[in-house]
Structure 1
Amino acid sequence: MAPAEDDISIEEKRVYAGSAGRTDAYVATGTGVVRVAISGDKVGEFELATRDPARDVAVLARPDAADLLAVATDGDVLVGPIGDDEPGAAEPDGFAAAGVGPAVAVGVHAGAFLAADAAGGIRRIGVDGVDGDAAGAASTRIGDVDDPRAVDGPLIAAGDGVHRVVGTANSGGDRPALESVGLADARDVAGAGVPLAATADGLYWLGNGWMAASGGDATAVAADGDGHALAVVDGDLLVREDAGGDTVGSASDAGWDADAWRVADLPVEERPVALGYGPGLSVAVTDAGTLCVDAGDGWRHQVIGVRGVAGVALAVAE
């Protein structure tokens, strides 16, 4: 078993952060959103970024303005800028409700947030006017699904299968809409690179139609768009580590089938429930509230002491 991060001093973590940079993981939990500082495979300080029980969380990176954090809660989707102050958490007073109502999932697509409300409505949250206090977020309904569970890129996982956003919100483009792309009882999706879906009867990838990667009860999936992917099937964490930069048009039958995945040996005997990627690192958060990170040299972990983990999103902090 790998050592817990408790045996690494704060001073060591700061020195490491200075050379390796820092990525912040925002973990949606029943207590609120917990921000966890990560430098390479070192897990540092963590604290509450918001105190509303969170169903999901997403980060929208912006090149010319502060990155934005969106939190799906039982009241609304809350949107706010991520601050630059160390340790760098978003300021709760800077959040504004997006007008979605009770929300179950949130993701990022085409420079905006996509959110699923509790009634099955899928909404695009435009952020062109968002700067200081996030009051400029505007919500537009683009379609409906049955029992939404997750959003990632243009994909939505729902009880009635996988749906995809088509069209754009740009001037002159087609108005965004939803189309069904198959499967059933989808629990999670990954929309970066080759589309992936975790369903009640297995893990699938989209090639010439949906192709089975693994049978079993698949509950979570994530990808970085460069050939790396994580999935949870029957409680095991599966890892796909081909950095070939696969795209939908170039994926081969052998590239994403069962032989392309291996079972990861996590340092804790807990079920992973939330998965994510940051620059050069993979993150898995367990149902017991342990954050595991792999920066290429094996998994390290830190207990963050929260329950009800529902999602994770990563942001480059420095």
Structure 2
Amino acid sequence: MAPAEDDISIEEKRVYAGTAGRTDALLATGMGLVRVAISGDLVGEFTLISRDAARDVAVLPTVAGPDGDSQREADVLAVATDDDLRVAVLDSASDTAPDQLTFSDVAVGPCVAVGVHNGGLLVAAEDGTVSRVSVTLTGDSIEAAVDPVGGLADPRAIDGPLLAGADGVYRIVSDGNGWRLEHVGLSDVRDVAGSGLPLAATGDGLYWLGNGWMDALDGEFEVVAGDGDGHAMAAGDGGLWVRPGDEDGGGTGWNEDAWAQATLPVEEPIAAVGYGPGTAVAVTADGTVCVDVGDGWRHRAVGVRDVNGVALVAGDL
């Protein structure tokens, strides 16, 4: 069993702090939005950023000011809540502490999922309406323009151009006159991965998109993530399954033989998965963060419940 961070020596922590890159994991939970600091495979301090129950979270990188003003650039944090899509400026050059961020509402109403697409945000409202949200920075404020693009029944997740819903996978496409949604197959889809080869976690299996949707693994899957370079994770009733990247010997396709079941240091079901630079993160429903940078999984419980999603950001917020 991999050690929890509390079991790691002070000397080892100093070595990692000096040599490993810093990644912040943002957890969308029923208790609010939580930032967890990760250095290498060590899970460090955690901070409650917002007390509003969060259903999903995404970070839109490098948003500029009006007319592409590069003198004002920062990331934008987007949180799907029971009241609205809430956004805040993430500026590494600012002295603002993560728990003192100023959030503003976008006015799309209660929403269940948010993702990043083509330089903007893609958000699914509780009533099924899907909108693209374009954002610009004006000083320390965020200007948001909402463009509805369609709808689907029971939206569940968004990643890149893909959306998961009760009646299948949808993809946002441009038809020359704007954006629209098109249905691309499957049913009872719980999650999608839109970075690299498209993947879909469904109630009866994990699928990859080739010449149509192809079987990867049988069983009930709840979450899936890919890093765009061939690494992927998927979790469900059968535990966590991992596909190594192509450079790690994973270049054998995407069927069952390409996946291996991970041995995690915890037994609780996985509620969210994601990738940062060289880092794989899996989070249990009751808030245990598991991290692997290639040398096995380490973990730490951060004391939150009802985990709904995770977004990873390189560097220190």
- Fold shared per TM-score above 0.5: yes
**Structure 1 residues 83 and 128: CA distance shift in structure 2, 3 A:** closer
Contact 1:31–1:52, Cα closer than 8 Å, also in 2 = yes
2:210 corresponds to: 207
2:134 corresponds to: 126
- Deviations along 1:250-292, one digit per CA (max 9) or x if unpaired, are x99x500000001000011111110000000100000121000
**Structure 1 residues 89 and 118: CA distance shift in structure 2, 3 A:** farther
Mapping for residues 70-149 of structure 1, pairs under 5 Å: 70-84=78-92, 90-129=98-137, 132-134=140-142, 136-149=143-156
Task: Identify which of 153, 162, 173 aligns with 1:155.
Answer: 162
**Structure 1 residues 87 and 279: CA distance shift in structure 2, 3 A:** farther
In 2: Cα distance, 1:17 partner to 1:87 partner: 21
In 1: Cα distance, 2:62 partner to 2:278 partner: 19
Aligned residue pairs, count: 307
**Structure 1 residues 4 and 118: CA distance shift in structure 2, 3 A:** same
Q: Structure 1-normalised TM-score? A: 0.90
Mapping for residues 257-296 of structure 1, pairs under 5 Å: 257-296=255-294
- Deviations along 1:149-204, one digit per CA (max 9) or x if unpaired, are 00000000001100000018xxxx54111000000010000000100000111000
Task: Identify which of 187, 190, 208 aligns with 2:190.
Answer: 187
Contact 1:82–1:89, Cα closer than 8 Å, also in 2 = no
2:35 corresponds to: 35
Once the two structures are aligned, what percentage of the paired residues are identical? 58
Over aligned residues, Cα RMSD in angstroms? 2.3
| Shift, 1:86, TM fit | 9.8
In 2: Cα distance, 1:93 partner to 1:281 partner: 26
Task: Identify which of 230, 233, 237 aligns with 2:236.
Answer: 233
Contact 1:274–1:311, Cα closer than 8 Å, also in 2 = yes
In 1: Cα distance, 2:235 partner to 2:195 partner: 17
| Shift, 1:60, TM fit | 1.3
Contact 2:237–2:269, Cα closer than 8 Å, also in 1 = no
- Deviations along 1:101-120, one digit per CA (max 9) or x if unpaired, are 00000111111111100000
In 1: Cα distance, 2:295 partner to 2:123 partner: 35
Where 2:74 maps in the other structure, the secondary structure is: coil
| Shift, 1:133, TM fit | 3.0
In 1: Cα distance, 2:207 partner to 2:180 partner: 23
- Contiguous gaps of at least 5 residues in structure 1: 246-250
2:313 corresponds to: 315
Contact 2:272–2:283, Cα closer than 8 Å, also in 1 = yes
Greater strand share, structure number: 2
Q: Structure 2-normalised TM-score? A: 0.91
Contact 1:29–1:311, Cα closer than 8 Å, also in 2 = yes
2:66 corresponds to: none
In 2: Cα distance, 1:14 partner to 1:73 partner: 37
Contact 2:114–2:157, Cα closer than 8 Å, also in 1 = yes
Q: Give the letter for the 1:117 counterpart.
A: A
1:61 corresponds to: 61
**Structure 1 residues 17 and 87: CA distance shift in structure 2, 3 A:** farther
Contact 1:162–1:186, Cα closer than 8 Å, also in 2 = yes
1:300 corresponds to: 298
Mapping for residues 242-253 of structure 1, pairs under 5 Å: 242-243=245-246
